[in-house]
Chains A and B, each alone.
Chain A
Amino acid sequence: MKLKNILSIATIATLLAACGQHLTVPSDAKMEARLPKIYPDYTEVTIPANICPMNFIVQEGESEVRARFTFPGGEYIYGEEQKILIDETQWQEMLDSAKGQEIKVEVFAKVGGTWKGYQPFNFYVAEDSIDEYISYRAIQPSYVAYERLSINQRNLTNFEVKEIYNNMSVSNEKIGQCINCHSYKNYKTDNMLFHMRQGYGGTMLVTNGQLKKIDLKTDETLSAGVYPSWHPTHNYIAFSTNKTGQSFHTKDLNKIEVQDTESDLILYDVDKNEVSIISELDDELEVFPTWSPDGKKLYFCSAHFEYYNDSIEKSAEMIQRYDEVKYSLYSVDFDPDTKEFSNVEMVYDAASDSINQSVTLPRVSPDGRYILFAQAAFGCFHVWHADADIFMMDLQTKEVQKLDAVNSDRSESYPSWSSNGRWIMVDSRRDDGNYTRPYIAYFDKNGKAHKPFMLPQKDPNFYTFYLRSFNRPEFMIEPVTISPQEFATKAKEDAIPAKYADR
């Protein structure tokens, strides 16, 4: 046999042997009486029955690691340098087998040439699944400048990410474009919208699958629509209108304040292309409208703020008194057939002397029982407020509780509910204080929120190298099917001006 043939056979045999090699966990590991340090921290979290693999990094030791996953149907072992990368098919098998039960994870790491074992932890696999998609705006945590922005959709059952729209498709040297406020009706994408500002400005509105570009600014309103909320049963959208400014802290690590010097609420009738005022009270800053699931109540936040210094501009006074602005939670009844609003009610007087806080971004649970919101000491832009936490009000008992399981000592904001009400998602800066990441927590039938987990990524090191924030994460039950090119083509067209209708 020629040497060449011998080498070929040896190579094939080596490859076959490598393929057939099974990982094992060390039997002689020295056990540590503590949980392993892993990133992201997935220890003892409850996960949906349809979530993608929860890959993680073991932050113990220097070279080799192992993780044994034990589930009702058997066990699998993984370990690749310091990463635990779970096979997608095997993961699905584990989830199917452990639904309503646990997957036990035992971690081992070679530290200084010696194997160490750590206290096992569990993935609790909920009976409840999660909406298949989320969408978010990928944006660097910048101040004034922006460049490439995209609204992305991520499939939660795997790792697929697609762009819904990116602003560079219409931006040019002279015209930049900011995009924001993606929003969906009843978690579906055949009725959705997002805003474009500056270049080719307007609201990209999809109604029954048809794409339009609307200019929501009228002579009678402060601005185009901001912070949208789709009415669940009728073709209406509530927005706020805002005059917004930004300023920067010289020392405070919150770094940025975003303030509204004025804000009101408007209702947009999609079928009639009409804008009307919901609320434009003097000395009130109304913002963040959100509908109850039956569409008969509109919740919103409002801060009472009186300007008393005529010698300077409102924006300058607002900067001087920025920490005096405190929003409380209100509701107003709504008759969808007549479009009449009546009976404004204080739901949670956060600004009162006894509470002395500021509530933003309320979201009602799909069953109408609870309302989530972000609360901090002042202001309306809690993503930059380290003290911001997620709170929940039981609308039956009016009891307000801080969701300790979900919060951290850094900013939590932008809460949202999955369509079945069993999962809540929040934007959190707990990782490093500057970049927001989506965290998902189980919300059980007893109204208890569980420890959240960071959105899993194929490469668990992804977040370390990713320099964008996940802004405004929203659940969707289906993907957006209109292509980025279709959005871009429509973006270049003139916007249809909305009409103003008196009430």
Chain B
Amino acid sequence: MKNYLKYIYLLAFITVAYILLPVMNADYLYTIQDNNVFISGHTFMMDTVQHEGGWFAWVARYLTQFFYHPWLGSTILILFWVTIYWVSIWMFGIKDKWSFLALVIPAILLYHLLDYGYWIYYAKLPGLPFQPTLLVLSCLLFTGAVMLLTRRLKICWKWKGLIAVGLLGVILYGSNLLWPSSVWHYNYSFRHSIQTTFDKNFRHELRMYRALDEFRFDDVFQEMPTDQAEMPTNLMVLYKNIALMHTGQMDKMFETGNCGIKPELNDSLHIRTSQLGAPLIYYLFGQMNYSYRWAMENSVQYGLSFRGLKMMTRTAIFNKEFEVAAKYLTMLKTSTFHRKWALEHEAWMMNSISFYQSQEYLTIAPLLNESGNALDGDDGLCEQFLMDYFTDLDRANSQLLEDVTMCMSLWAKDYYAYCVHFYDYMQRHSHSPIPMLYQEGAILLGNADESPITLENFRFDDIVANKYNNFVQDYNQLQQQGIDEAEMGRRLKPLYGSTYWWYYYFYNDFNIY
């Protein structure tokens, strides 16, 4: 039995690794791949090897591509770890019963990979799943080579030491790790973030992003928590609202939960929506320039990525900047797994009819407001910018844009903007039923002091009017009892949590990040 222990340990490790990687964290690995880039050709190779990580970075970037299929990437990575295991046993002559010690390094590498959490958007470590593994394996192989060499040449320990130091220097130089500027790229605090990797909301965000990216809007809704006790993140709420918007249900935004939180991270990282998803968010709101901007900014600051290249391509096609789109497509066409995407988009570029008939164009086109350009800035706060932009928009030339301006005004709790949009809406849709949300907004406004809305002009559904009266009654009752606002919110949530009124009065922690 003893002789089989090393196989049993290894098998156990492989099983755990598969469970933790492709089974539990497929979306995480896919996102890591999406934030990576590998472009065939001399220019990219030279650009990579002259930076931190050098040749290791180039190889690691190449291998990271395979996480496009998480099982494939995981298998390759696990094979490297198995090699580390066997080399360690061979080099250190580890006995069978102690062979589990040879799994310490692979286990640390596995932990290291899962430990990134939100850092996958920020860490400046190209090919991050593979680079540490490649370095460790190289150092082990080098040590083994030194041992073999010195054993054969029968040289003394002094020379062994010198050879070892020399060869180690060559490896480190090859990886550019001896470069002083490289140090800070590895100097990020990723302690405790492993909690994030197993955080449900983090994983929901990853899946929602991918679903939006692939225009699978219905899949986005499945990621919202069903349990009222679980709070989604602000980003999840935004993703959900985008999906509602593109499925014609934006007026359901408060019904489906519109209160989010900022993820609490126990490390030094300050996450921003601008890095987590701004290019796609802006794109899906038809804001091509700002989408391009953030794809570019993130590429500059945190490294070029397939995700960034694809977003820059998409916006360039929408903006009819075909030469620059062609440049990005040429790069994407050299990749193993994004080539198909590139060819599809190249076909759109070459044939405008197929582009204008595509789901992507038809989905976004109604948001391309043809009114004037604005010179502005978002200060890195994508959500705030979108609220302000659409709330202030004075002309909605499509049904979708009309809904967006109404809902954004409500979301931003902007009375007067909502009033303007509501009157416009009622003029255009005087003979149609008013969506419940818009009635809720108007009733709330109409009953406010110095309200710009005269309620008598509109006919609201009895069910809405009665519910509002009940809400006011319950609210006043609790207030008279001297109950504080937070507790009032908790008590009224079961009855009114899906209304705009509850959001308006009790959701004040709008922590935009």
Residues of A within 8 A of B (CB): 140-148, 168-173, 246-253, 255, 257, 319, 322, 431-435, 459, 461-462, 464-467
Residue numbers in B under 8 Å from A249 (CB-CB):
289, 373-375
Interface residue? B324 (CB, 8 A):
yes
The listed residue (B39, B187, B324, B331) touching A434 by CB distance below 8 A is B324
Residue numbers in A under 8 Å from B324 (CB-CB):
432-435
Residue numbers in A under 8 Å from B378 (CB-CB):
248
Inter-chain CA distance A140–B298, complex, in Å, is: 11
Residue numbers in B under 8 Å from A464 (CB-CB):
327, 330-331
Decide if B181 touches A144 in the complex (CB within 8 Å): no
Interface residue? B296 (CB, 8 A):
yes
A259 CB, nearest partner CB in chain B, Å: 9
Could you show 25 A-B contacts with beta carbons less than 8 Å apart? A144-B297, A145-B298, A145-B301, A147-B301, A248-B377, A248-B378, A249-B374, A249-B375, A250-B374, A252-B289, A252-B375, A253-B289, A253-B319, A255-B289, A255-B293, A257-B375, A431-B323, A433-B324, A435-B327, A459-B42, A464-B327, A464-B331, A465-B43, A465-B330, A467-B304
B-side interface mostly? helix
Compute the total of residue contacts between A and B using a CB distance below 8 Å.
102
Given contacts A142-B300, A168-B181, A169-B180, contact A432 B327 (CB under 8 A): yes
Residue numbers in A under 8 Å from B43 (CB-CB):
459, 461-462, 465-466
Decide if A465 touches B331 in the complex (CB within 8 Å): yes
Inter-chain CA distance A375–B330, complex, in Å, is: 33
Inter-chain CA distance A144–B274, complex, in Å, is: 13
Decide if B181 touches A465 in the complex (CB within 8 Å): no
A413 CB, nearest partner CB in chain B, Å: 18
Inter-chain CA distance A251–B292, complex, in Å, is: 11
B198 CB, nearest partner CB in chain A, Å: 27
Inter-chain CA distance A149–B300, complex, in Å, is: 10
Interface residue? B376 (CB, 8 A):
yes
Q: How large is the interface on B (under 10, 10 to 19, 20 to 34, 35 or more residues)?
A: 35 or more
B392 CB, nearest partner CB in chain A, Å: 11
Inter-chain CA distance A143–B274, complex, in Å, is: 13
A371 CB, nearest partner CB in chain B, Å: 31
Decide if B289 touches A145 in the complex (CB within 8 Å): no
8 A-B pairs with least C-beta separation: A432-B323, A465-B43, A168-B181, A432-B324, A251-B373, A145-B301, A173-B184, A142-B300
Residue numbers in A under 8 Å from B296 (CB-CB):
140-143
CB within 8 Å of A: which B298-340 residues:
298-301, 304, 319, 321, 323-324, 326-327, 330-331
Decide if B300 touches A247 in the complex (CB within 8 Å): no
Interface residue? B68 (CB, 8 A):
no
Residue numbers in A under 8 Å from B39 (CB-CB):
465
The listed residue (A148, A248, A432, A459) touching B293 by CB distance below 8 A is A248
Residue numbers in B under 8 Å from A173 (CB-CB):
184, 187-188
- Chain B CB within 10 Å, residue with most, of A141, A170, A462, A465: A465
Interface residue? B341 (CB, 8 A):
no
Residue numbers in A under 8 Å from B290 (CB-CB):
248, 250
Cβ contacts B16-32/A at 8 Å (1 or 0 each): 00000000000000000
Determine the residue in chain A with the shortest Cβ distance to B44: A465
The listed residue (B42, B187, B376) touching A250 by CB distance below 8 A is B376
A318 CB, nearest partner CB in chain B, Å: 10
Inter-chain CA distance A119–B423, complex, in Å, is: 66
Residue numbers in B under 8 Å from A145 (CB-CB):
297-298, 300-301
Determine the residue in chain A with the shortest Cβ distance to B322: A432
Cβ contacts B353-397/A at 8 Å (1 or 0 each): 000000000000000000011111110000000000100000000
Inter-chain CA distance A148–B181, complex, in Å, is: 11
